[in-house]
Structure formats: C-alpha cells, structure tokens
Structure 1
C-alpha cells in the first residue's frame, strides 16, 4: 500500500468507529471520553498537513485550505445543528464533528495498481462524502424494517417505521412506543424514559402490569430511587417478576378522577434532568398502553453511528456513492 503517513494514520479511526457502532447497537450509549482524543488526533494530522503545504502559495495549498475550511466550518457545525434540531443524538453529532476534523480532504491509498477511494468528487471534502454515504445507508433502514415485517406477516401502515413486539420484552429494547391509547402515534413514550420511571418507583415492568390498578394511583408511590439515564446497561433491571395473564386488561377498573395518574408529574418534577422530552401526558399514555397490551408497536430507531461507520468504510473504498449515481445519470 502506498499513501502519505497522515492518510495511513487516519485508518486507525476505522476500528474505533466499528467499536462505537457495535456498542451503540447494544446500549445506545457512547462514552463522552471517546471523542476528545479523536478531535486531538484529527487536529494533529491537520496541522501536520498544513505545515507541509505552508505557506499555501501554490494551487494545492489553496485547495487544501478551502477543503479544510468547508469541513471544519460547514460539515462540523452541521452535526451540531442536526443535534440542536433533534435529528441527531449527542453521540451522532460528536461523531460527525470528529470525522470533519479527521477527514477534511480525500485520502488516497494505492493498492495493487488501484487508487482508493475509487470515486472522488469535484469538491474533494471527504467528511461530506462520508455524510452523504451515511444518509444513503440510513434511507435503507425503513425498507429493511418493512421487509422484516412483511416476512413475518405483520403488514400495516406503520410497517416502515415500527414493528410489534411482546410488551414483556420492552426492558431490553431501545426506541419508543409507536402507539398510545388512541392508536398509532409517532410521539409515543421513549423506552429509556419508561425504564427511568420504573427505576424511580423501584418496579419491574411485570409488577407494573400485574398491579396497574393500584400503581396508577399517585398515593401508591412510596420510596423513590435513582432513575439513572434509562439505559439498559446501567441501574437495576426492570424486567423480572410475574406478568399479567394474556388477555387481562391491566387498567380495567382504575379510578378515572386521579389528580396525577401514575404520579407522572411528580416523577418529572422529582428527577434532576429531563426524560428524553417526555411530558406527563405522554408518560401516562405509554404506561396505560404497556399495562394493558400484551404486544405493542415499537419504533426501534436507528443509532446513526452505525450507518456512519459503514459509510466511512464505503467512502474509504468505493468513494462517493451519490456522486457516482449522479454521474451515471449525467447530472455531474
């Protein structure tokens, strides 16, 4: 393999992103300590290349400055903007910023007479290529979910966005409920918020389903506990116990005139941080659903770091898929 030393060192990022993708799938959590070393690593490589091109008098130097500026001043802030608008999680934004710092320009690797990536772009901003490849890969996720539902015979209007699962399996799942008592909804209860609530009350989901009539009364709340952040890998388990029998309506006969059903407002007031944007009404609706239904619709969501890791690998080998597609139809 022939490449510059900075480009060879950049390949060290690939296993880091592979590890991050696997951890994100398993826990939906990435440690904050992961990102500062990557930012520093990218900054050192950027300085290394800048020094080699100093004083940027030639064409190559000016192009390098332009591409680095686009990556650092457009792609990196774009990651923050996506997080601010709610399109990204915090780790997704930090990962995108890391790629913008580490890969401002296209690397080049000559192997067996071929130069990778195979498809370059006129702009030449590699972090932008990783982003577009990531988006294209992300668009395949709803299609894959729909195909899975179709194979299982679970055909519905929401098959591209959610799938039915056993309610008792929710403690180990990620995503959000795709239904409330009135039917399908895109603003259902976040499953991390559900785990936070259960831990706050010291309950398992099975216990909540079994004794839902009693537990819906806010006066039933006794000692409360640390809700954690709702992750599956931290805090007490929220499964276990004996679930209600199939077909039992866990909310039947529950009082309808409670001031704060499920103590939802008390829970949100008591915790020292938010519950993933959950309000009291959403929490109550979600608890009513999981207390009553044996199977629920769940939108599993997609950890964006996963297609980002795959997109990085595709970008380093094939190159820019969108640019190749546009070229094939004569648009570039």
Structure 2
C-alpha cells in the first residue's frame, strides 16, 4: 500500500494530482443538489481559479518541452485545450442560456472544461489511470459523454420502479406518483393539468414561492380551495417569496394529513378530508374571478421570474393540487449527480461511450 501511494505521489504529474481536489468538491455539490437543488456560487470560483492556474502551468510545461517533447504533440495539446474551452465550455453556457441547464450545472461543466482540458495521468506500480484514452484526448468531453450515459440510465430506473410498484400510467417513463399533500416538500414539476397528463406543468419551486408570498400552506389550500381561489383573499402586504427551496420547518406544508396509498388510481382517498372542499375543474370554472388564485397578482408582484412559470401554469397546478389526492411529478435527477459519477468513472476507466462505439464497429 505504501509503495502504491509513494509511486502515485511521486510519479504522477503534480498538476494532475492537484486536479483531484475536484472530486470531493463535486461529491459535496452532488449531495447539495440532491438535498436542496441549490449549489452556492462560491463552490465553483476556487475550482475555476485552480483550473486556470494549472492550465497555465501545463502550457508552460508544454512550451518548454517538459510535458510533451515534439512539435506534433505540443500542437495536439493546444488543440485539445482549445476544444475543451471552446466546445465543452460553450455547451455548458449555451444549455444554460436556452434553459437546458440550471446555473450550477453550467458552471460545473465550464469548470470541468478549464480544469480537465486533456487526459490526466495517475501512475501506480502496475498500471496507470485512466485505463483507456480516446483519440480526441479531450478529458472534459469524456466526462460530458459519460454524464449523458449515466443520466440516461435514470429514466430506465424510474420506469422499472413505477412498473414494479404498480404505478402504471402514460407518464410512468418520466414521472413518479406522490401524495398531492406532499408536493410542497418535493422538487420537480407537476406532470398534470386539469385536462390530464402534461410534460410542462407547474414548477414546485414556484409553488413554494407562491405559498410563501401569500402566507399560506398547501394544507390550507387543499382544506379550503375556494377561499384561496378568490383573489379577494390575497394579503394586503405579501411576504417575500424566497427562492422556492424547501424550508427546514413546516411553514410550507402545514399539518400532515392522513396517510394515503399512492397507488396512482382514481379511488385513493384522504381520511378526514371534507368532501365539499374538493373543487373540480367544472366547479372552478363557475367562479367568476378575474384572477383565480391571485396567480397574475403574484407574478406581477415578484421580482424576476418564478422559474418560467406562467399564470396558466400556476392556476392549473393549484387546481390539480387542490382537487387530487395523488399527482405525478417529474423526479428530475440533478445533473451534477451523474456528472460527479461520470467524473469518477472517467478518472478510473476513461470514456465509456468511446468504448461502446469501439465494440459496435
């Protein structure tokens, strides 16, 4: 063990050893992303500065011939750096710009592009990691392709889990059923509207912002939906909506209602709930409110956007949550989780996608 560690520390390039700092940082970021869907901005700046310093070190080593000896290898190194920064870094920014990534996801990918432009090398007595390398040689691209493969396995897991637990519906491939009463403590988006299943329903972060803004709870909304649907019930002095994160206390969920089996069927009932409080879509249409639920007032009052939520998204989502006992939401694996797994796989093995393609051709 001591020999392995000594060889690892003395034979591996120092810049590559320093790059391993990214592993615990990404592990922590993945944990935060699962628990809160929030990763502080301060997470990425130190890694970005480290990446810039190590890249400058590598460029110096390449230019002076310490890292690569001949002109061809130096040119390949410069090309790989350019591809990492220009292509992988740009992918992170463009996906964020078009709404495909969250801010933390984009920053994480940009940091990887700076920190790992080329394949690192870790030397042990009998082997070297990563075990395989690609012809292109852009390590951040390897991490990205491995991330896609790891992330693609998640919908398969969701589908199998739903099928084995008896939750069969057209949306079972991308969603999971939960108690409607628990929606305020979940992350994701509703996959339902009053008309049926939808892939673009209410963002649950926006739901929490709305509840905080008007100083109520989801339990209160479900207990008396008609009063909350009336815009006259809006507070004169609304609260700050916050950022939509799940709080530590119960200020969003309110009292826990009686248990209900989330069997995805139409016969699920909540014991003790007043049947008169169930307001269907038809009953909601009968209420002649100019602004049902005060949805327009909420979006007009807050600064910025509630995660792209529209007035109709909020109204329809509240209608569903007030009337249903079981709802489907997108489970939405945080992108940094498969990115962390892919980083570890890439450092140990290399490019899974490259290996799969080589096996097929």
Shorter-chain TM-score range: over 0.9
Who is 1:324 aligned against?
355
Deviation, structure 1 residue 233: 3.9
Residue 305 of structure 2 is aligned with which of 274, 291, 305?
274
What do you get for the CA RMSD once the two structures are aligned?
Answer: 1.7
- Paired with 2:102 and 2:333, the residues of 1 have a C-alpha distance of 10
Who is 2:318 aligned against?
287
What is the SS of the residue equivalent to 1:177?
A: coil
- Paired with 1:77 and 1:178, the residues of 2 have a C-alpha distance of 31
Deviation, structure 1 residue 59: 2.3
Output one character per residue of 1:8-59: Cα deviation in whole Å (capped at 9) or x when no partner. Answer: 1111110000000011000000001111111100000000111112267722
Who is 2:131 aligned against?
118
- Paired with 1:276 and 1:173, the residues of 2 have a C-alpha distance of 15
- Paired with 1:247 and 1:152, the residues of 2 have a C-alpha distance of 29
- Given the two structures, how large is their TM-score scaled by the length of structure 1? 0.95
What is the SS of the residue equivalent to 1:165?
A: strand
- Structure 1 unaligned regions, length at least 5: none
Residue 231 of structure 1 is aligned with which of 245, 248, 267?
245
Deviation, structure 1 residue 79: 0.5
- Paired with 2:97 and 2:250, the residues of 1 have a C-alpha distance of 31
After superposition, the Cα gap between the structure-2 partners of 1:236 and 1:273, relative to the gap in structure 1 and judged at 3 Å, is farther
Output one character per residue of 1:267-299: Cα deviation in whole Å (capped at 9) or x when no partner. Answer: 000001100110001100000000111110111
The reply to whether residue 240 of structure 1 matches residue 254 of structure 2 is yes
Deviation, structure 1 residue 302: 1.6
Who is 1:164 aligned against?
177
After superposition, the Cα gap between the structure-2 partners of 1:218 and 1:235, relative to the gap in structure 1 and judged at 3 Å, is farther
Is the CA contact (8 Å cut-off) linking 1:213 and 1:250 kept in structure 2? no
- Structure 2 unaligned regions, length at least 5: 1-7, 258-269
Residue 26 of structure 2 is aligned with which of 14, 17, 26?
17
- Paired with 1:58 and 1:238, the residues of 2 have a C-alpha distance of 62
- Paired with 1:247 and 1:84, the residues of 2 have a C-alpha distance of 45
